[in-house]
A and B are shown apart, each in its own frame.
Chain A
């Protein structure tokens, strides 16, 4: 690991000022991804700004929904009564991720900053990775790409976001609160992440020096049900091949009133197509409707040599997740 300076500010303003005064600084949350990448030599910050002790660790009711401080640990979010009761899909998604130990360390803000996963990105001894070395090429496109994207990729990068929590936040229309040198602002989860395009080196729309302070979950009175399905190569402690976060509300005669769903394991960011969700409205939950929404979500899907199975797996996973969410709605 390259040497770095360590700072432990006690206020958010001090954290942002420290960032501005040093080039190449990084904020350190639980460290579960950043320290890993620093050990690999992928990340080489000059200064680590430890923000875990900032007063950003509360969960409270806010504007009809709830506000989760950026430094709340993932396990705390998953077990919190407000989250479990009102947003079970988020609780399930977090508990499907990583391991209990890692969830005890990871913060909700840090987890949003988790980098995409790709063997060729993680190991700097691979020569071609546009995400690590812009312009160097992509070893994954013609390499081993079982875990890689089938949607929204570019000829520059086909890596996937490995998150689970982020998929649920996407489905829930969560809003990310940030504080930067220019003051506070917020973004919907859908505007927070990026597709790779020609700049795969940039994972999010966070501006330099901005600090995530909280995640707001909007009120969701139309659905108490929700389901997070994670399909993976072993039963636990593995990245998703495909995941689905589904929230469904039914009207009194059992038809779908509203539905929101996001996919993990398919793209550089959690994948959501609001237009596709509309095909479900007014439909009776069942295979026909589920298939239609899957086809709409999969529009433009482009698999690679080792992940062709993901297309069919997405169809089946969506059907299963919507079935479960509808049953609980």
Chain B
């Protein structure tokens, strides 16, 4: 039977996106709309001494100036976070005069127009009682603590197997190095935005740029004292998130609180500089790696001690040690994570939290070891291939890494590499090739979905979920079509509304495994219902058949024992007595995670061209080969992997949120100076994947692809830079001054 799953279907939301028809949160223009602009702190620590609300109020068009003196009421403390929601953060909602980080909201100005609100915010001059902030690892290292749990999967703060010291003493080659990655900021192109509309004192509708409408609903309802069912969150299109739109941050609540005060709809959009501070970041990491190996490359010991930041008031631990725990077979292995408290907005999940910086450090260290052993870097990886998860002591659910290495190396031409650094030159240009291993856990959460056949023959499938660019509209359409047995063009999939069945956050690369499984099961259930109804329907040609005898393909029901006897779904639907029939399914993971370690892997190859004199680096060519379970849409999947690889280039060469440590402020808080790649920075990117059948992860065998592309790729670029120049840069980003 022809299957929609796997086909390179064009995005079903493509037309809306290329015509300007896709409506993002800030584009909901409602009657009576007012505009809110946040005033954010310009100190990183201290107190608000005064705010000149009067000056702001005198400006034309100002409706309200809200500060901590407005004593806005909440149903509970914004520090009160739910232990069962990994995404809940402690918020700053004008409840007191304390300033905890630069960029913290300290006032909200509401006006008739955007221009008036912006000018009012400028006029609301804030005076502070500043204290000396700390934003550096070195300044706070003495007070560092080992967390019980890491953020994300909740792995323990330290791990150990065997005896690392003994392992190191067995080694003939030892390597100890420190690798650092900088503060990074997500910077989706769509700034965070919320439109809040109250329906009386007890009902609230939010149009919110969020990766998790249900998380937002729960957090907002809890803080405002509303019944969850009286809060509706809509988010049909999200202009990128990469993790920053996972948690519900302060501005979402402030928008709702402002709308309650002014009794009109309020639109609140963050200005780009406000994207640097109050909505999370990736913490700087410092990773001290020690490796020991025998002359043949066999690892005897591997250790990584990680230091990251969290805020002074909340806990987030970038789980950078996990690749060191799991990627290689090594009998003696230990990791610890330590955390320093800094006067910064709480760090949060950013594309491949943990694995992105973790694979950078580990895979550069492995490259260094390969050179120390005069061994091919790929051969060293294969020598220490982990046949099982030695950290979790479980078999992998499926692992195709060996095949990824083979396919990637072949596509890239790795065998033609001359190992000597600086040996490939073209005029002023040094050429280098590098390799890094990609890995990211396959996650799944409970999710639900509804599939409905309407009397007009249309099929409507709904699940809360979000479209953040991963292609959810399209992949869910394909999954539903296959589940039922119809063409994708017959299915309308809707998302982004808390009135649809609940689903998890669009994060952790788990949408397809979670929501996709629910959609598939709902579609199967609808299919079964249709068949069961048809065989007992006296008006149907299929009457009297056994359900097992019915085939359902391309929108046609037929008897497998009497091929001519068939009925279209259109005809079946027209005969329905009721307006529609539907199936709702709640799907949840089983015990598979107890038995298996679900993980995706990949191999990343990069070619760089480095100006020998000026140090400018261009990543001219990349090949990524991935084993990530079943691929739902060959076109959108390729794009998603590729986007991750572009993030790897960005991680390696460009991104760095620079703090002025005297002031605790990010100096380059704009897109002119916080560099992400532009079109001219990206060369050819080739994405391939292994046709991997993973029967242990979920009903559709999908493992998630949104994050793995950024893992291993920064290391591949850094290793290629070494191969080109002979300069080993262990401190990202690799800016040209480090290569002079």
Contact = CB atoms under 8 A, between A and B. Distances in A.
Q: Which residue among B663, B667, B668 has the maximum number of chain A CB atoms within 10 Å of its CB?
A: B667
Interface string B638-682: 000000000000000110001010110001100011010111110
B667 A119 contact: yes
Interface string B586-614: 00000000000000000000000000011
B680 A235 contact: yes
Contacts of A232: 616
A1 B681 contact: no
B42 A125 contact: yes
Given A1-B118, A142-B662, A313 B667 contact: no
Contacts of B678: 234-237
A157 interface: no
A97 B587 CA distance: 54
B122 interface: yes
Given A142-B662, A241-B736, A233 B667 contact: no
A320 B427 CA distance: 12
B460 interface: no
B306 to A, nearest CB: 26
A235 B618 contact: yes
A1 B740 contact: no
Interface of A: 1-3, 41, 119-120, 123, 125-126, 139, 142-144, 146-147, 231-239, 241, 309, 312-313, 316-317, 319-320
Contacts of B667: 119-120, 143-144
Contacts of B654: 233-234
A142 B273 CA distance: 22
Interface residues of B, number: 32
A234 B615 CA distance: 11
A46 B667 CA distance: 29
A238 B673 CA distance: 8
A243 to B, nearest CB: 12
B681 A231 contact: no
A234 B675 contact: yes
B735 A233 contact: yes
B119 A236 contact: no
A234 B735 CA distance: 9
Nearest to A307: B737
A319 B667 CA distance: 32
A238 to B, nearest CB: 7
Q: Closest 10 CB pairs between A and B?
A: A309-B737, A236-B680, A125-B42, A235-B680, A316-B613, A119-B667, A144-B667, A237-B678, A235-B681, A143-B660
23 contacts: A1-B115, A41-B122, A119-B668, A123-B273, A142-B662, A143-B662, A144-B658, A144-B660, A144-B667, A147-B673, A233-B675, A233-B735, A234-B678, A234-B680, A235-B616, A236-B678, A241-B736, A309-B736, A309-B737, A316-B614, A316-B740, A319-B613, A320-B614
A132 B352 CA distance: 41
A233 B737 CA distance: 9
B740 A313 contact: yes
Contacts of A316: 613-614, 740
A24 to B, nearest CB: 16
Contact of A320 (B119, B613, B680, B737): B613
Contacts of A233: 654, 675, 735-736
Contacts of A238: 672, 675
Contact of B737 (A123, A126, A143, A313): A313
Contacts of A119: 667-668, 673
Interface string B601-638: 00000000000011110100000000000000000000
Contacts of A236: 678-681
A1 B115 CA distance: 7
A110 B45 CA distance: 40
A126 B668 CA distance: 13
Contacts of A120: 667
